[in-house]
Structure formats: C-alpha cells, structure tokens
C-alpha cells in the first residue's frame, strides 16, 4: 500500500504550503518553519538531524490531518512530490516521528508531478534482464556485495505483476552474455561492480550490439585507478592489455548513445578518468551527453542523475521525448504571476554582456 503527498505553494514568493494526500486536501504549513535559521531555532540537519527531523515530521503529518490518518495505516511506500525547487531542496528524508526516522519504517521516495510523469511502456511482458557480476579476484581485497545486489534484484522482479525474466550471466564473460541476450528484442544488461567502465565499454567495443548506455563514475582506463585494485587481474608490469581494454584509447569507436555521469568530488574513482574520456570523445568528433554533479562523491549523480538517466533511456530506447523540465511552473488561478524584479545595476542586459552557456547537455 502506498500514499502520495503533494507539496505546493500557490505563490512561490510566499511561504504558505498546501499539502494534499492522495489527491485530497490535507493541511497547510509555513515553509519558514522547516528552514534552519537562528530566529526559529531549527538546527541544520547534519548538526542535529533528529531535532530537525521532528520539525519536518510536524509539517508533513500534523495531528488530525488527512496525511496523519493515512500514515497511521502504515503504508509501505510514501511518494513525496515537491512542486517547486525551494520545496524540493528541503531534506524531507530526515523526517522523524515518535517511532524514529520515517525512512526506516517505509520507503520514502521523491516523485514527479503527475503532469510530468511518463506512463510505463505497455509491452514489458517478455522483458529479459541479465545481471553480470564483477568482483576483485584478489583475496587481499574486500569483495563487492554482488550477492546482496542479486538478492535485491530478485526481490524487485518477484514483486512485479509482469512476465519479466531475470538471469545471471555465469561465467561473466562477453561470450556468455551474448549467448543469453542475442535472441531477445527487449534486453537490459545490469552490471554489478565496475558498472561505469563496463557500460561505456558496451557502446565502444560492442556498438553493433548495444544501443545506449549510461556510465556513472567509471574507471575508463585501468592505468589511472588504484594500482592495488586493477593489477590483481590486469597483471604487472603494465602491458598492452591495459591499452586494449581502455575506453579512453577506443573513444573513436563510439556507436550508439552514451551518457557519462561523474561526481566532482569522487573519492573512489578519480573524476579525471571520466574527464579524459570526455576529452578523447571530443577529439574524435563524437556526440555524447556529459553530466558532472558539483560536490557529489562516488555516485550515479543522486536524484538528478537518476532522473537524467531515466530520461536518456526513455528518449533513446522508447523513442519518447521526456517532459520539458524547463517549462514555466504552473501557478494556481488565485495567484497571478508577479512582475519581475528590476535587476541591480551591473546585471542589466544592456550594461553587462551575457556569458554564453557551455556546450553540451551537462
């Protein structure tokens, strides 16, 4: 069972927030009450997460509200939709009630407004998912939790009401992978471990087979990442096998569509690896998409990166154009648009030349 909370402000210049629960009005609250300031005494989430979480919980589920009553039924999933960027920027995942953190009781996920959602494809029956495990061979390195990832995938597939086939590639080789998916039209390959490197390699080394790939925080050349990690199976000294497996050295072979994602502060795989691949693709004259997330560590880009990945596959695999995220926000009928505020001196178009935005989709 799931419930949906929708947070919206009739006028984004004001703090008044309207909360609807499963499409029906629930209550209102003041946005300023959940913004950490010295005046309201709210601490910053990282300084005192539980105190801040209680303020978020009080805003979302006040007593005797429709949202509070729906929460009392213990839903397994709560979809929270924030209608504007200021509301979306609030860390609602810290919400903490009498039973502790809400996210520990049920799945708390962010959702898109209904007008921006894309209906799932109607032909998922017969979908074939092949999982490819990859873990260090050395006994001196901690193995990746590929078994836990496999268990998570099987649980997700088990709950689906569609005919979806999940299979594990064993041994995890290119030959075995081809044998498993060569006869299917709806193919999804899920890499468990080294996914960024393998995903990009799919459209660089096997572009005749794969149509599109998203590579996040990948090690695109084994000569650049941790020597203690890569030399376990690549061998030492460094030989021609390193260049033969380098995504960077083979950037000119790109076929199909590729989205590269990297966190600016990745502490695991050097962001330089992705940037060098970007440089090589540009020098080869290839078209691709690139997203660097400022302040992000080793990740697929967080919620924004996930949404970009979903839009990427919808556009290039389903042939459907995702919603226009840059369209003007809809305002309620009781709140006509306010006139734009005058720009300070030095920022007017006629007094300060505009700076062109960098090319690319990142």
Model's pTM, two decimal places?
0.48
Taking 70 as the pLDDT cut, the residues of the chain under it are: 118-129, 132-147, 149-150, 152-153, 156-195, 226-229, 232-233, 330-362
Q: How far apart are CA 312 and CA 245, in angstroms?
A: 26
Domain chopping of the chain, boundaries: 2-116
Terminal alpha carbon distance of the chain: 37
Which pLDDT score is estimated for 58? 95
pLDDT given for residue 66 in this prediction: 96
The pLDDT value recorded for residue 24 is 95
Residue 343: the pLDDT is 45
pLDDT confidence of residue 37: 82
CA-based radius of gyration for the chain? 24
Lay out the sheet containing 16-21: strands in order across. 24-30, 16-21, 2-8, 77-82, 107-110
Angle at CA 325, nearest 5°, toward 275 and 8? 125
312 vs 300: CA distance, rounded Å? 14
> For the stretch 230-245, what's the b/e string if a residue is b when 16 or more beta carbons lie within 10 angstroms of its beta carbon?
bebeeeeeeeeebeeb
- Position 239 scores a pLDDT of 84
């Amino acid at each position: 069972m799931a419930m949906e909370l929708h947070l919206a402000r009739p006028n984004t210049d004001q703090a008044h927030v309207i909360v609807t629960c499963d499409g029906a009005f629930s209550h209102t609250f003041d946005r300023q009450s959940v913004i950490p300031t010295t005046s309201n005494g709210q601490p910053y989430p990282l300084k005192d997460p539980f105190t801040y979480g209680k303020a978020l919980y009080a805003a979302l589920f006040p007593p005797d509200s429709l949202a509070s009553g729906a929460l009392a039924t213990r839903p397994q999933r709560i979809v929270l939709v924030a209608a504007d960027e200021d509301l979306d920027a609030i860390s609602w995942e810290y919400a903490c009630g009498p039973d502790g953190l809400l996210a520990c009781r049920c799945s708390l996920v962010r959702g898109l407004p209904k007008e921006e959602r894309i209906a799932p494809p109607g032909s998922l029956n017969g979908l074939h998912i092949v999982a490819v495990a990859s873990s260090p061979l050395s006994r001196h390195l901690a193995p990746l939790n590929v078994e836990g990832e496999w268990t998570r995938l099987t649980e997700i597939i088990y709950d689906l009401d569609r005919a979806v086939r999940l299979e594990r590639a064993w041994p995890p080789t290119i030959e075995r992978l081809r044998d498993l998916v060569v006869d299917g039209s709806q193919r999804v390959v899920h890499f468990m471990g080294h996914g960024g490197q393998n995903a990009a390699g799919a459209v660089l080394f096997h572009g005749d087979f794969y149509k599109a790939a998203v590579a996040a925080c990948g090690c695109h050349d084994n000569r650049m990442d941790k020597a203690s990690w890569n030399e376990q199976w690549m061998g030492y000294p460094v030989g021609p096998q390193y260049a033969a497996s380098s995504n960077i050295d083979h950037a000119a072979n790109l076929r199909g569509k590729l989205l590269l994602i990297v966190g600016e502060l990745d502490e695991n795989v050097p962001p330089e690896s992705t940037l060098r691949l970007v440089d090589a693709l540009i020098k080869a004259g290839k078209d691709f998409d690139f997203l660097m997330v400022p302040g992000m560590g080793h990740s697929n880009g967080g919620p924004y990166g996930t949404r970009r990945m979903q839009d990427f596959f919808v556009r290039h695999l389903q042939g459907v154009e995702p919603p226009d995220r840059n369209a003007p926000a809809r305002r309620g009928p009781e709140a006509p648009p306010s006139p734009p505020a005058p720009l300070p001196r030095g920022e007017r178009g006629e007094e300060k030349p505009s700076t062109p935005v960098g090319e690319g989709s990142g």
